[in-house]
Amino acid sequence: MSGLPHSAHALVTGGGRGIGRAIAAALAGSGATVTVLGRNAAVLDEAVNAGAAHFSEVADVSDEAALKAAIAKAAARQPINILIANAGSAESAPFAKSDDALFARMMDVNFMGVVHAIRAVLPEMRDRPHGRIVAIASTAGLKGYCYVSAYSAAKHAVIGLVRSLALELATSGVTVNAVCPGFTDTDLIAGSIENIMKKTGRSREQAIAELAKHNPQGRLVSPGEVADAVLWLCGEGAGAITGQAIAVAGGEI
């Protein structure tokens, strides 16, 4: 696998915990300068102090002005040539109880947050010989699941964006891809586990098994496995890979 380009600067949204932090650490370990961005300064600082990233910026990806300002600060330190649009949020409810506000929240963070981040980095990125944009979508962007219609719709939108933008940028040095994890062992999935326990009376082990059964390997995906796929896409050897939605899900899709 070819490595990252010389002097790579990667910005990872939602980089303070879970999949985002694993991606940040993988990129940093491969020689990139890494800036993590998120809403919780303490969580971001802990990631930097632990060596998972070099710098942090605080912003909500659903607030385009704040995100643009934070990314401009990061780019002023070093031009950004890798964007990992990872920040996301998941809420579950039956469709009949999914009101407009829930759909708006899911679209604002999971889809428009990706749009805002790309808008902020792309003008300068496309003028350089190497650029990588990777959106962390979900298997929910490739198929449906019960009780997450709003979340799934937002993730489907992300994949549509990736496929279209990849074509627009095909003759540039910028590739655009999505990585689609299945149920992954993070604090985000912990909320789903608690929800299953509360609503069904099942034990924690039974709730985990309920989610793991979607994976033919019978387990949750690890954040590091997602990070490995992202790292490959960011490498110089993946220049011909663009417009793809790569599932990291043990064969579920």
Catalytic positions: 151
In the numeric block, the tokens 């999949």 are attached to: 19
Smallest CA-to-CA distance from 2 within 30, 22, 23, 36 is with 30
If you ran DSSP here, which 8-state letter would residue 221 be given?
Answer: B
CB neighbourhood size of 251 (10 A): 9
- For the beta sheet containing 33-38, the strands, ordered from the edge strand earlier in sequence to the opposite edge, are 55-58, 33-38, 9-13, 82-85, 131-136, 174-181, 245-248
Question: Terminal CA-to-CA distance of the chain, rounded, Å?
Answer: 24
Q: Where are the alpha helices (DSSP H) in the chain?
A: 18-29, 41-49, 64-77, 100-107, 113-125, 149-168, 187-200, 204-212, 223-234
Q: Is 213 helix (H, G, I), strand (E, B) or coil?
A: coil
Contact 145, 211 (CB under 8 A): no
Q: Is the dihedral of CA 143, 225, 44, 59 positive or negative?
A: negative
